[in-house]
């Protein structure tokens, strides 16, 4: 796989080692750059493979982020009563986020 020079990396410490993980913004910037190039000049096979890989990686990060937001959410009605769906409550209990 080609090096993605455009990507900015954030460092994550994992077991004493640093791993580079692209951010959603850097992935999106490169995806958009490849989309623009595709419209003007076309893409090589390597660039098409890179684009597909970046799209999958972006969607994975998006889904993880969205899932995390939903799992942390609590919903209340106008009367102030909590109406968070039971499925979300159970996930929160499993993660130790709820005491009830």
What tens digit of pLDDT does each residue of 53-67 get? 999 999 999 999 999
- Residues 27-83 have pLDDT tens digits of 999 999 999 999 999 999 999 999 999 999 999 999 999 999 999 999 999 999 999
Assessment of whether the complete model's pTM goes beyond 0.85: no
Delimit the domains of the chain by residue range. 24-94
Neighbours of 34 (CB within 10 A): 19
Is the distance from CB of 55 to CB of 38 less than 8 angstroms?
Answer: no
Give the pLDDT confidence score for residue 20 in this predicted structure. 61
At residue 60, φ and ψ (nearest 5 deg) are -60, -45
Bridge partners, residue 9, by sequence:
22
Tokens (6 digits) for 58? 């972006």
Give the pLDDT confidence score for residue 23 in this predicted structure. 86
Give the pLDDT confidence score for residue 99 in this predicted structure. 85
Q: What is the CATH number of domain 24-94?
A: 1.10.287.540
């Amino acid at each position: 796989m080609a090096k993605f020079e455009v990507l900015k990396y954030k460092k994550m410490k994992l077991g004493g080692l640093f791993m580079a993980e692209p951010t959603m913004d850097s992935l999106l910037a490169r995806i958009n750059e490849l989309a623009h190039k595709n419209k003007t000049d076309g893409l090589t096979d390597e660039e098409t493979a890179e684009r597909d890989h970046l799209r999958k990686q972006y969607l994975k990060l998006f889904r993880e982020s969205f899932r995390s937001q939903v799992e942390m959410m609590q919903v209340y009605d106008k009367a102030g009563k909590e109406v968070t769906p039971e499925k979300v409550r159970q996930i929160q209990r499993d993660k130790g986020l709820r005491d009830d």
